[in-house]
Every structure is written in C-alpha cells, then in structure tokens.
C-alpha cells in the first residue's frame, strides 16, 4: 500500500484515488521565461517517478501539467526581448520539452498553456466575485483573504491582526507579506499583454491560472497536486483559497511537495546564479540518464546537494546496472532456475516495493536493485545461473525500470552494427525460404538462436527479439 506524505495534513497517509481506479493529478509546470535548471528538473523527475509508480501499482493516471506562459518574470523577459509573448514563451516551452525527453520524463496526458485558458479564469473570477471573495482596487481585482477563514491551512500561516485592505500585486512573495492577493492585474506598462474581461482589461495572476486549469481538466476535487516546496506559499495556499472559495468543496486530497536541489548548501536558483541547465551538463559530456539517476537517488522529500562528484558517482552506479542487464541478456547456458537467484529476486522485488510504498523512498528502492545486481553477478560467476533465472532477472529489471526510467529501452541499447548483422541474416533466411532451401533457412535460424535471437514469422514479416 502506497503511503504519501500529505503537506495538508502533515502526515503520511495511505493513498487511494477519490473515484474508481483513475488517479487525477496536477503538477505545476515550468514558467517558460528561460531554460529550466536541474533544480526544476529534480521536482519534475520526482513527479515523473510518482506517476510511473502509480501506474506500476495498476492505476490509470490522468496527469495534467500546465505551462505558465504569462507571469511577472515572463513579461519582463518578453519586453526585453522585443518578441511577442507567444514567440518568446514557445521557444522555452520547446526547450523544456526537449530537456524533459532527454531525462526520460514521460509527457503528461494534458499540458495546457495559461494563455489558452483566459475564459476559464474569467469564469472563476466571476464565481469568486459573486460569492463575496473579491474587490476591485486601482483597476485590479483582488482576493480578500479575510473572506476565507481557513486561509493558511496548507502552509501553517497564521493570519493575525487586521489585514483587511493590505494588498500584494506581485506573483511571488514571502509569508511575512501575506496580504490580499491579485487575481487580475491592470496593465502598468506599454506593451504588457492584456485581455478584455468584466473586470477591465488586464492579465491573470499566476495563482489564478493553476486553479482554473486544474479544475477544468480534473474536476473541482481531485487526487494529487504537486510541485516544489517553494510553491507551498503563496502559490498553493492561494490556489486553495481561490478554488475552495468558488466551489465550497475540498480542492485537493493529497498535496505532495519535493524538496530542493542545493548547491553548496543553498537552493539552486536562477536569481542566485548557482545553477546548471540540463544542456550545460550534457555539453560537459555527462549522460542524461546519469543526471536522472542522481536526481532520483535521494527520496524526494530530502534535500539533495548537487556536486560533480555526485554526478560521476551516479554514472558509475548506473553503469553497474547497465552491465547487469547486458550480461543477463547475453547469457546463454542451461535452462532452469536456481533457488538462490529466485530468492534474491523475490527479496529485491519486495524491498523495491517496500521502499517505493514508503513515501517513494527511491534510495531504498535503488538499494534493492543494487543488492540484486550483486547477487546475480555472484551467481553467474559461480556458474549457478540458468536461462530461467536470466528471464526472471531481465523481467524484474524491466519492471523496476518502468518506475525509475534510468536504463534505456532495450532495443535502444543494442549496438547498431549488431542489429544490421541480425537483419542481414534474416534477409538471407527469407531468400533461402523463397528458394525453398529449407535446410539453409533452418541453419540460419539455429545460428541466430545460438546468439540469443528468437524469430517470429508474422503476416507482416519476420520479427526478432532477444531471448
Ligand atoms: P518554475 O519554472 O520556477 O515555476 O519552477 C518549476 C518547478 O521547479 C516548481 O515546482 C519549483 O518548485 C521547482 N524548483 C525550483 N527550484 C528548485 C530547486 N532548487 N530544487 C527543486 N525544485 C525546484
Ligand atoms: Zn501552479
């Protein structure tokens, strides 16, 4: 049974979907004003592991991740660049998708852009205005936090004293600056993007975007909402106020927050300049899978200090797993299984699942896989390993890799020269069969079998796979 730490209740709780077998989850996506850094990708990898593990457990996952393509930072960058809002944000959206692909992050089912959802945001503001949660001041629309008695329940903030009328216009601010926050902003500068609305021309605040998009695609109450810990306040606190203020229903069942990636003890961030992008590291010759491995090697709720030495360590650990898979897939020997290997497999699967069920403790889950690596290598060295063991090891590696995503898909890991040779032999066999030289055709099939390749003749032609 999967337990997840819920920021809202400050407890680890057993996870079950609100309805049926489908998990509806929302992750705050990137703000596309620059390339993402690997701190951002630590959070996105953590969310990817969560989605993959939910599927491993047999759930259907409906995962929505927005693209924030209008906010204070974007407008600043866009005005400086002289580009249109769409051109400016599209470039960084594509860069984000490329980096995500290279880190093996699966694409969420829906990736809505904020600027494509202005009508939904206006609807939400109308509902909030009708229920007395808003007021207009100096051309902008604000959410009155005094109108929502449980404001602060996610972050533990106590709203004390008379805050009425004190307002904050920026998208990001600290707890000490908790004030009525802006829903819809009046343009201040020439060239700022703007949309018509019943509240005047303007643009949405960041918080409003996520409430409107998550409820559009997932309903008014859904299972999981995630992001980095820096989003707890004010972003997620404000999303709760907006959504629950409008619907009167609980917005999200589980709030899941990933801890920071640090550099020399400080949060990796654009503003501190202490960051690496995925591209920076690839240009230095590091492999994307080692970056992914490093980012998930520590449980998501523990801070992770980034060092080049750590990245090299991840490369070595990953090489051990790649070697294990290569060795097992090239193994040929007696059929049958060995009790010691079968026990090691059972143990590895149980420990892997126990680790993941414990609030996604990826470090324990990885330790289980490395224990298996050691046991299998020992058994192979001792000649106590059979073809049945081999299939089971490869099967379990595939299963755990469906969650961790650190090993390339097997066909991608094949050497292209090897693939070309196999395909040439299959072609020769097809020619022999056309010439009715079945002895030669069988000879080629047997030769391939000794190299660990099995053939399947289908109406679409001959397919092959490794044993
Ligand atoms: P942004 O593109 O700034 O909206 O951030 C995207 C995601 O990255 C958010 O979920 C942030 O909480 C997260 N994030 C930002 N910095 C870090 C960091 N140093 N470590 C982990 N996650 C981070
Ligand atoms: Zn968000």
Ligand sitting nearest the alpha carbon of 172: 1
By the 10 Å C-beta count (0-12 exposed, 13-18 middle, 19+ buried), 439 is classed as: exposed
Rounded to the nearest 10 degrees, the angle between the axes of helix 38-56 and helix 387-404 is: 130
Instruction: Report the range of poorest mean pLDDT among 57-71, 253-267, 339-353, 410-424.
Output: 410-424
CA angle 267, 269, 272 (to 5 degrees): 95
- Residue 171 CA to residue 183 CA, distance in Å, equals 10
Report the C-alpha gap between 162 and 149 in whole angstroms: 13
Lowest mean pLDDT among 186-190, 209-213, 356-360, 375-379: 186-190
Please write the tens of the pLDDT for every residue from 3-52: 999 999 999 999 999 999 999 999 999 999 999 999 999 999 999 999 99
* Fold category of 321-408 in CATH: 1.20.120
∠ CA 78-271-171, nearest 5°, is 60
Q: Stretch 119-124: mean pLDDT, rounded?
A: 98
User: Which residue pairs from 347-355 have beta carbons closer than 8 angstroms and sit at least 24 positions apart in sequence?
Assistant: 347/371, 347/372, 348/372, 348/375, 348/396, 349/396, 349/399, 352/400
Ligand of minimum distance to the alpha carbon of 205: 2
| Model pLDDT, residue 37 | 98
* DSSP E strand stretches across 200-298: 203-204, 222-228, 252-258, 261-263, 266-267
Count of alpha carbons within 13 Å of 11, Cβ hemisphere only? Answer: 5
Distance 219 CA to ligand 1 centre (A): 25
Mean pLDDT for the stretch of residues 385-411: 92
Measured from the CB, is residue 43 less than 6 Å from ligand 1? yes
Please report the sign of the dihedral spanned by the C-alpha atoms of residue 221, residue 223, residue 225, residue 229: positive
For residue 450, the model assigns a pLDDT of 63
Ligand 1 pocket residue status of 261, Cβ below 6 Å = yes
> Residue 354: its pLDDT value, please?
98
- The pLDDT tens digits for 65-119 are 999 999 999 999 999 999 999 999 999 999 999 999 999 999 999 999 999 999 9
CB of residue 64 inside a 6 A radius of ligand 1? no
- Report how far ligand 2's centroid is from the alpha carbon of 221 (Å): 16
Residue whose C-alpha is closest to residue 301's, from 232, 210, 370, 218: 232
Average pLDDT of the chain, as a whole number: 94
Residues with CB under 5 A from ligand 2 (ion): 28, 210
In testing the pocket of ligand 1, which one of 41, 43, 68, 76 has its CB within 8 Å of the most ligand atoms? 43
What tens digit of pLDDT does each residue of 238-279 get? 999 999 999 999 999 999 999 999 998 999 999 999 999 999
- Output the pLDDT for position 164: 61
> Cβ(235)–Cβ(170) under 8 Å?
no
User: What would be the CATH architecture of the domain defined by 15-262?
Assistant: 3-Layer(aba) Sandwich (3.40)
Task: Kindly state if the Cβ of 225 falls inside 6 Å of ligand 1.
Answer: no
Mean pLDDT of 362-367: 98
The answer, yes or no, to whether any atom of ligand 1 lies below 6 A from the CB of 30, is yes
Quote the CA–CA distance of 433 and 430 in Å, as a whole number.
5
Annotated domain spans of the chain: 15-262, 321-408, 416-466
Q: Which residue's CA is minimally distant from atom 7 of ligand 1?
A: 40
Helix H or strand E encompassing 185: strand 180-185
Question: Hey, whose CA ends up nearest to atom 18 of ligand 1?
Answer: 39
Ligand 1 neighbour 34 (Cβ under 6 A): no
3-state DSSP call for residue 221? coil
Give the distance (Å) from ligand 1 centre to CA of residue 201. 30
User: Does the Cβ of 230 fall within 6 Å of ligand 1?
Assistant: yes
Q: Are strands 180-185 and 60-65 parallel, antiparallel or unpaired?
A: unpaired
Distance CA 32, CA 77 (A): 10
């Amino acid at each position: 049974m999967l337990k997840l730490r819920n920021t809202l209740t400050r407890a680890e709780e057993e996870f079950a979907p609100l309805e049926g077998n489908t998990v509806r989850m929302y992750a705050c996506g990137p703000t596309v004003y620059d390339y993402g850094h690997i701190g951002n990708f630590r959070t996105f990898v953590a969310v990817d592991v969560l989605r993959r593990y939910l599927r491993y457990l047999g759930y259907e996952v409906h995962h929505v991740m927005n693209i924030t393509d209008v906010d204070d930072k974007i407008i600043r960058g866009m005005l400086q660049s002289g580009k249109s809002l769409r051109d400016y944000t599209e470039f960084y959206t594509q860069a984000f998708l490329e980096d995500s692909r290279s880190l093996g992050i699966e694409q969420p089912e829906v990736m809505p852009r904020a600027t494509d959802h202005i009508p939904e945001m206006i609807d939400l503001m109308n509902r909030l205005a009708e229920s007395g949660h808003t007021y207009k001041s100096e051309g902008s629309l604000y959410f009155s936090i005094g109108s929502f008695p449980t404001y602060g329940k996610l972050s533990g903030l106590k709203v004390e004293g008379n805050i009425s009328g004190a307002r904050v216009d920026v998208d990001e601010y600290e707890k000490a600056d908790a004030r009525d926050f802006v829903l819809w902003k009046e343009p201040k500068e020439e060239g700022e993007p703007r949309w018509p609305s019943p509240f005047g021309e303007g643009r949405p605040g960041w918080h409003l975007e996520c409430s409107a998009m998550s409820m559009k695609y997932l309903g008014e109450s859904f299972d999981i909402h995630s992001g980095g810990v820096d989003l707890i306040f004010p972003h997620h606190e404000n999303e709760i106020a907006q959504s629950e203020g409008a619907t009167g229903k609980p917005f999200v069942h589980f709030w899941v927050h990933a801890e920071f990636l640090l550099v020399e003890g400080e949060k990796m961030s654009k503003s501190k300049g202490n960051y690496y992008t995925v591209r920076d590291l690839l240009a230095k010759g590091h492999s994307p899978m080692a970056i992914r491995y490093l980012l998930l090697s520590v449980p998501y709720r523990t801070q992770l200090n980034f060092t080049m030495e750590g990245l090299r360590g991840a490369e070595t650990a990953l090489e051990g797993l790649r070697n294990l898979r290569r060795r097992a897939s090239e193994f040929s020997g007696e059929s049958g299984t060995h009790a010691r290997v079968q026990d090691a497999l059972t143990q590895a699967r149980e420990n892997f699942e126990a680790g993941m069920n414990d609030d996604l403790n990826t470090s324990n889950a990885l330790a289980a896989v490395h224990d298996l690596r050691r046991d299998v290598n020992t058994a192979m060295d001792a000649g106590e390993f059979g073809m049945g063991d081999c299939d089971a090891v490869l099967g379990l590696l595939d299963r755990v890799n469906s969650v961790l995503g650190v090993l390339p898909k097997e066909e991608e890991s094949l050497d292209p020269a090897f693939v070309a040779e196999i395909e040439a032999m299959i072609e020769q066999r097809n020619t022999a069969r056309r010439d009715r030289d079945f002895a030669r055709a069988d000879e080629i099939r047997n030769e391939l079998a000794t190299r660990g390749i099995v053939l399947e003749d289908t109406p679409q032609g001959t397919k092959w796979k490794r044993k």
